[in-house]
Amino acid sequence: MNILNTPFDTPYNTAPFTKIKDTDFLPAFKFAITEAQSEINAITNTEAQPTFKNTIEALEFTGHQLDRISSIFFNLNSAETSDIIQKIAQEVSPLLSEFSNDITLNKALFKRVKAVYDHKESLDLTVEQQTLLDKKYKGFSRNGANLSEKKKQKLRDIDKQLSQISLKFGENVLAETNNFEMLITNEGELAGLPEGALEAAKQLAESKDKDGWMFTLDYPSYIPFMTYADNRALRKKLAIAAGRKAFKGDALDNQNNVLQIARLRFERAQLLGYKTHAHFVLEERMAKTPQKVEAFLEELLAKAKPAALAEFEELQEFARNKDKINRLEKWDSGYYAEKLKQERFDLDDEKLKPYFKLENVINGAFKVAQKLYGLEFEEITTIDKYHEDVLTYKVTNTVGDLVSIFYADFFPRAGKRNGAWMTSYKPQFIKETTNERPHISIVCNFTKPTKTKPSLLTFNEVTTLFHEFGHALHGMLANTTYPSLSGTSVFWDFVELPSQIFENWCYEKDALELFATHYQTGKVIPMDFVQKIKDSSTFHEGMQTMRQISFGLLDMSWHGADPTAITDVKTHELKVFEDTKLFPDVKENCMSTSFSHIFQGGYSSGYYSYKWAEVLDADAFEFFKEKGIFNKEVATKFMENVLSQGGIEDPMVLYKRFRGKEPQPEALLKRAGLIPIK
């Protein structure tokens, strides 16, 4: 029997990664789909009248094995992929899409679900059961259950195409990232780069049997070069390479994939009776409509643009005076911003990095979670992992009960996509009085230790780790009955609240003292550094905000209107960016062709949610600040009303229960320095 189709005989029911062969996946998927179909048939073939228990609850717990296999496989496809896994993904994705459609377009099943839904007022359901019933009904109605047979088939065809094209989009971006290498053999061209970046580049070159220093498009290599390298021509070369990903007119080009994805999503929305893909998506978000999203982004733009223009003009003047740079280009931004920041605050990442040894920062996140929520983290070696770099932990509460298994994967490698994310290998749910605890993972791309130095993080990487760990806490502390409502299974414009609020502790003296110690001397970070971190936290906030808004507007331009008239991706982008443009355009570059968030990662019509969640997090953290950042009462309210509740109620209801009122954007604007503090 395939190991993936049998109960795992492992500690804490963890995934047996080292025992799974790539060749196990495809047959395991096929078997699990057949099993799940049998479970569906058992629901539809029963002669008993439809009830919440025999229909809605039964449907919720079908396909558990299939979900588990999917989570293992697709997480590996992101964190430890290979040509074989990518090939399997191309085969499996249409099968899963087809099976999903088999469920949502199953007339007999929908008839039973609708029968329960139509009588929901007479049923004595809990709030969570009501939410599950609504979700199951909408899962059918929003996915074509009310369509004619001809239109249902059309929907199936669209979904199959979308799953394949989105996968291809992501594979192209990863291949482009991996394909680029910049080898420098002349040491004089490395002026300005810090010692740690040079050592990492040397080590990377050695690993590929090359002499010199190698730089790539992986963030730990790319960001230091763009921030510190004095050689403007090489910064330009690297920046253009990053911006050209999947925009070269070759086999890895994504322009046609972008156009196809946008058009297919629009066609799908129209088929289901929605004006656009954004109208379809936002029905299930806090924002509700594209108009509200656009109004929100435009309001923020109005507040941020004057600050952004002033910051840009100051940066241009600074570069002109310093190096006679008459026209600031995109490859100058990080470099001169860092120089200006150092001059203004006498603070740079190279001074801070010795205080942020990766192991200490991880322990810092653990200590903050312990002080807030009473969690204990113990590193364990008894569970399997998919790569030797992965760290594994057992998480318990104050009385020693298992809360979660936690995986942490921090370093870049060829089979791993760029960026940082949190995910789950097993959800939390309660079945037959057993509270199944979740298996949560965070994946990042930080600088690896070198021969002479441990992994030392930039402050931006510290906040990234805390951000992903905030997501992880949302998953770990989940305490709901149903897996589809558990943990991070919430509206997408609410899901960033737990992650973004956790970043705030990185700026607080009481939190930094717990972990920010010099990796050689053990001395706590000087408090004047802490003050400078806080003072510099709003540096170029106008430009940063405008950049985020531009991404949100680009997302809405693809999904909030009919895209069928768009024939040229680059021309479309230029038009969208007119109101948010600061730097001259680079003709060789295109954003959309590697904008994985919206074309592969689930953020379509949802990129605005990062700023939306910032409003929530600034307002929520203000509550902590009022009472004390480690105040148990506030932390407990946040845990009980937000972190543990998943998606069992409308997020605004949960938020107001925690905060006592609706969130106010003023908290964010004040924190960002975009409006004065009264």
Query: What is the set of active-site residues?
Result: 468
Measured CA to CA, the distance from residue 431 to residue 482 in angstroms comes to: 8
Amino acid occupying residue 571: T
Contact 530, 383 (CB under 8 A): no
Contact 19, 72 (CB under 8 A): no
- Tokens representing 647? 């998606």
Q: Would you tell me how many other CB atoms lie within 10 Å of the CB of residue 529? A: 19
Contact 624, 632 (CB under 8 A): no
**379: which residues sit within 8 A by CB, 6+ positions away?**
391, 392, 393
**65: which residues sit within 8 A by CB, 6+ positions away?**
5, 32, 35, 36
- Tokens representing 465? 């780790």
Amino acid occupying residue 90: Q
Contact 379, 568 (CB under 8 A): no
Q: How far apart are the first and last CA of the chain?
A: 68
- Measuring CA to CA, which residue among 389, 390, 392 is closest to residue 380? 392
For 435, phi and psi rounded to 5 degrees? -90, 100
- Measuring CA to CA, which residue among 548, 572, 608 is closest to residue 262? 572
DSSP assignment string, 7-24: ---SGGG---GGG--HHH
**476: which residues sit within 8 A by CB, 6+ positions away?**
375, 395, 403, 404, 406, 438, 440, 487
Strands 391-396 and 376-379: antiparallel
DSSP assignment string, 557-580: HHHSS--TT---HHHHHHHHGGGG
Helices (H) and strands (E) in the chain, counts: 27, 9
Contact 334, 435 (CB under 8 A): no
Contact 438, 426 (CB under 8 A): yes
- Tell me the sheet residues that pair with 393: 379, 406
Contact 499, 337 (CB under 8 A): no
Measured CA to CA, the distance from residue 281 to residue 657 in angstroms comes to: 26
Measured CA to CA, the distance from residue 117 to residue 363 in angstroms comes to: 47
- Measuring CA to CA, which residue among 376, 379, 390, 362 is closest to residue 462? 362
- Tokens representing 407? 């995986």
Query: How far, rounded to the nearest angstrom, does the alpha carbon of residue 380 sit from its chain's CA centroid?
Result: 26
